Amino acid sequence: MAIVYNWQLGRTMSYWYPEHRPQRQYAAVFDLNKCIACQSCTLACKTTWTSGKGQEYMLWNNVETKPYGSYPLAWDSKLLEMLGPQTWKDGKYLGRTIFEAAPAGERVLGWRPDDYDYAFPNTGEDDCAGQVERGLALNLPHAVWFFYLPRICNHCTYPACLAACPRGSIYKRPEDGIVLLDQGRCRGYRECVKACPYKKVFFNPLTGTSEKCIFCFPKREQGLQPQCFVNCIGKIRLAGYISVPESANPDNPIDYLVHVRKVALPLLPQLGLEPNVYYIPPVHVPVRFLEQLFGPHVQTAVQTYLNAKDDPDLAGLIQLFGCAEKIVPRWKRQNDWIIGMEEDGAEIVRVPLREPVFERPLFDERFQVARHNCP
């Protein structure tokens, strides 16, 4: 075991390999306030990558309803229970990571799902926490709530799958940090399936190898965002590159959201993988629940997001989500316009801070027809 620094934990931790960050880390921000669980992302991924034999059950991208949804079954609650207390103090994690909690003979604390655990791909869909009682009113957070959690591989800085593979069949690309599983080398031991806490490695029983999300690396190599991003009709996703906190660049959309405004948070940071998909937490959900999923900075993130209406930079950047197929590595706001740019400043896309509103007369004189805005 080596000692590495995990900035999401605010401390060093043990990991199977020494710290070796890629030249650039491809990353993403998902705005959970905008996800409607239409599963367009799921289908986009499925049709692109996992339509083959033995891949039938695989969902490299899935969207589940929290608090009850999970795919595979109880992927999160089972491990959290195994891990024990997960306490934070002043932004520093005091508990154990899954590397530090690894039992004797193992590299990682993990569990391997059974066939049955994959039998309910959208269990808990739209089930809310609690019952709607008389007298309830809409306040924040909601007394009765659920939200959608879209998930892909987190292309972690410290991947548990990579650490667990005894053959070194999993590697992290130096040029963009994408975590890939070598299909020519894998022998189907499924140590990665067991180790990945997010359960985003799947075993193909017909080829005898494990397979996982590839972050659409052929698209990234062409400067394009992944399939699940560009097919998202809710425009909740933005792909880009993240820096380490000390090198954060406010002109970089991901850095701005994660490091500068701290409005986007990692999923289960306490596990210690330094995941690179960040979530803007849903503002209507009790913070206590969200802290378990996204760490100790939820309250600040929620408040920042709620203030976005008076925060043209943040509101503007959120408008940029899903507006271009190209990866947008730079951005700026010019008055009421948000401009997404290439690294060299060339404009990729321009969106208004607020969509213009048009009011049309109730009666259309030209066509002699009454119009109204309600269905």
Partner 1 sequence: MWKLRLPLTVLVGAAIVAGGCRRQAVAPPPQEIQVLMVKELPTDPTDSIWGQTQELHIPLLLQDLVEPRLLQPSTPYVAVRALYDGHRLAFRLEWEDATENADPGIAAFSDACAVQLPQKVEAVLPAPQMGEKGHPVQITLWKAVWKKGPLFEKGIQAVYPNAAVGHYPFQAASLVPGSTAQEEMALRYAPARRLGNDVASVPEKGAQDIVAEGPGTITPVQKNSQAQAVRTPRGWAVVIVRDPPEGFSPDSGTHVAFAIWDGAHQEIGSRKMRSAWIPLRVVSNQ
CA angle 295–217–182, rounded 5-degree value: 90
Among 95, 124, 188, 286, binds partner 1 (CB under 8 A): 188
Question: Are residues 181 and 210 in contact, defined by beta-carbon separation less than 8 angstroms?
Answer: yes
Among 20, 187, 288, 371, binds partner 1 (CB under 8 A): 187
Residues of this chain, 305-344, that bind partner 1 according to CB under 8 A = none
By rule CB under 8 A, what count of residues binds partner 1?
Answer: 40
Question: Should residue 118 be labelled a site residue for partner 1 when binding is judged by CB under 8 A?
Answer: yes
Residues of this chain, 137-166, that bind partner 1 according to CB under 8 A = 164, 166
Which two structure tokens, joined as six digits, stand for 294?
A: 């996204």
Distance set, CA 55 to CA 48, 51, 204, 206, 210 (Å): 12, 6, 6, 9, 10
- Minimum CB distance to partner 1, residue 285 (Å): 32
- Minimum CB distance to partner 1, residue 105 (Å): 3
Spatial separation of the C-alpha atoms in residues 216 and 132, rounded to whole Å: 41
The DSSP letter of residue 287 is H
- The sign of the CA dihedral 333, 339, 341, 347 is negative
- Minimum CB distance to partner 1, residue 295 (Å): 29
Among 6, 39, 50, 154, binds partner 1 (CB under 8 A): 50
- Minimum CB distance to partner 1, residue 228 (Å): 17
Put residue 234 in one of left, alpha, beta given phi > 0 → left and psi -120 to 50 → alpha: alpha
Non-local (6+) Cβ contacts of 369 within 8 A are 363
Question: Should residue 185 be labelled a site residue for partner 1 when binding is judged by CB under 8 A?
Answer: yes
Residues of this chain, 72-111, that bind partner 1 according to CB under 8 A = 104-107
Q: Tell me whether residue 112 or residue 262 sits nearer to partner 1 (CB atom).
A: 112
Residues of this chain, 203-222, that bind partner 1 according to CB under 8 A = 203-209, 211
Question: Are residues 254 and 340 in contact, defined by beta-carbon separation less than 8 angstroms?
Answer: no
Query: Applying CB under 8 A, which residues contact partner 1?
Result: 49-57, 104-107, 112-115, 118, 164, 166-168, 183-191, 202-209, 211
